[in-house]
Structure 1
Amino acid sequence: MDRTLLRLLAADGRMSNKDLAERAGIAPSTCLARIRSLRERGVIRGFHADVDPRALGHDLQTMIAVRLHPHARGHLSDFAESMRRRPEVLDVYFVAGAYDYLLHVATADTDAVRWFVAEHLNRNRDVAHTETSLIFDHLPAAGRYG
């Protein structure tokens, strides 16, 4: 039942408890209790608006892979936090593999992304290498949490 509720909420986080319960086939009081439990256990981390960056003039989105120098491994969280605070950065992912982080970045154009990479990554003494990939389109997966 929890997976059903999560799938329904992932598709429409603004759905009322009454509608959610009806679609899940449970009583509204049961639905409310299960959602409360999912929040308390940290399964549901929050509710967010899915804002289209293009509507705000950020027509170019990129994924920037970042590898840090070995000496920087002791303060990975400092790098992540500094990137999290940048207005261009939508998401910060700590990853395994050839790179340490993936940054989802939205800017107005190529000049702005070039400036971001030059000023905030290439000038950072902890950054060893970056690789930027343009995002042409984003299609959310249909089978989430099912």
Structure 2
Amino acid sequence: MGKPQLDQVDRLLLGTLSTDADVSNKTLAARLGLAESTCAYRVRALREAGIITGTRAQLDLALLGYPLQAIIMVRLGSHTMTNVNQLYDALVSAPGVIQAFHVAGADDFYLHVAVENAEALRDFVLQHVTSHRVVRQTETHLVFEVRGGAGVLAT
């Protein structure tokens, strides 16, 4: 499957939805000067093409009782496909993982996690990361603040 052909209207729709996924079709159409039916058709086509893959609620983790966020860098001792895939599956299913990145470079994985406090962070690393025999080393960095970026369709 090749790169989808997007026109300016598609890009405007995607840009708006990427910053406000909850916007109603009526409001989206009005913002972009489109007929509601055209707007609905275009968004549906973008979903069917796999360009829009879902929507997510943004949660205030601190208000939910998880005020401490960290990035955990993980290095493996063995890089077989089986080891990498098994660990990746285990990491993404661990409670508290917001995102897991399989990366190139000195480290093999970056985990973005949210936990209740410093003790819970320590326990997370011990129970869900270093408990895997393939993990050789970890390094944990506290996150002071998280800001979303402009995204790829920023104008």
Q: Same fold (TM over 0.5)?
A: yes
2:43 is the counterpart of 1:23:
no
Q: Determine the C-alpha separation between the residues in 2 that align with 1:125 and 1:72.
A: 13
**Alignment counterpart, residue 126 of structure 1, candidates 134, 138, 141:** 134
Query: Structure 2: where are the runs of 5+ without partners?
Result: 1-8
Give 1:73 shift.
Answer: 3.8
TM-score, normalised to structure 1's length? 0.92
In structure 2, distance between residues paired with 1:11 and 1:25? 18
CA RMSD between the two structures: 1.5
Shift of 1:142: 3.1
Q: Secondary structure at the match of 2:13?
A: helix
Deviates more, 1:73-82 or 1:117-126: 73-82
1:47 aligns with 2:65: no
Give the residue type in structure 2 aligned to 1:9.
L
TM (norm. structure 2) is 0.87
For structure 1, list consecutive stretches of 5 or more residues without a partner in the other structure: none
Q: Contact 1:17/1:31 (CA < 8 Å) preserved in 2? A: yes
Letter aligned with residue 100 of structure 1: D
Residue identity (%): 42
Q: In structure 2, what is the Cα distance between the partners aligned to 1:67 and 1:125?
A: 11
- CA drift at 1:144: 4.4
Instruction: List 4+ stretches of structure 1 deviating above 6 A.
Output: none
Letter in 2 for 1:79: L
Secondary structure at the counterpart of residue 87 of structure 1: coil
Shift of 1:114: 0.7
Q: Does 1:93 align with 2:101?
A: yes
Distance 1:56 1:83 in 2: 21
Q: Give CA deviations for 1:91-143 in whole Å, capped at 9, x if unaligned.
A: 11122222121111000111111111112212210111111111100111235
Q: Which residue identity lines up with residue 88 of structure 1 in the other structure?
A: G
* Residue type at the aligned position of 1:106: A
Superposition deviation, residue 72 in structure 1: 4.1
* Higher relative contact order (CA closer than 8 Å, sequence separation 6+): 1
